[in-house]
Structure 1
């Protein structure tokens, strides 16, 4: 990302990333491997992406969190059954995994919508059935997530080291965090 502050106090940013990569480590085509150049011009704060790591069922890595702007959830109101936003508000979180069963380097694990009404999400790195094929768990050494900023604000990026060996005390503590975090929502449950 390259960014600057203009004399009028507004900000400009140029970002480039591969938004269209196929899910589950599938090899991209020339069309899906393009690097998009994204320009932002805004005033004030940027959106906030919160991502937490834990285990699901004591063996799979799991992420959960939220996407907010100025303290309010960012989410769409209409989408296809496969998670393509049908309005200008919907946002997909693009999650990548490093050095996983998909191969060396960064590979797209999945992309999915922020939940309607809450702007929250939950995702497990399980084996998946997609396009008639079984794909292995995408658990890797590191994870990163990118999401398009609301309006003309910049896209938001997060990256962290994957969890190490299973830690029961940490997992139980995160389970309690999840229960509080998901209170009032029906789209995620503590795992």
Structure 2
């Protein structure tokens, strides 16, 4: 029986924990999961396509979307807006697809306020020392910025109890298998299926 609605899966965690890497690997495993395309007011970079990499909006268009409640979450960085349009996510879910958002912790908490039925997964580093090593390994940040990221990471880990699940990213493939197991279990929950099966019984 085809599901009436898909799941909204929100994956977040501290900067440097490997959200992008895990989502990329998950995408290779499960092509049925849709990845939400973010909106931004920054200019397209070479090779980027509207609707594939981002939905590119003017500042006025983006602020209108905020005012009209069309954003699940948003933030402003370096004078540009970034956020998750509600319409794309809702459309995919209504078609029965599972949708995954890979976003920062504050964005995830915004989504939870407006979409509490989502599945919220906190991606956890094996240790803070390992997290520091991953951030340092990027080679793109100064010592002060690394310390700042570590301070924020400790604060974000304190918010873990706001999530439904915690997945340790010790090895990418193991983390992907854990997330796939969570999605499978959530799709089998009675509360998500009872309406469909009651209809079947009535027939």
Q: TM-score under structure 2 normalisation?
A: 0.25
- The higher radius of gyration belongs to 2
| Larger relative helix fraction | 2
Q: TM-score under structure 1 normalisation?
A: 0.26
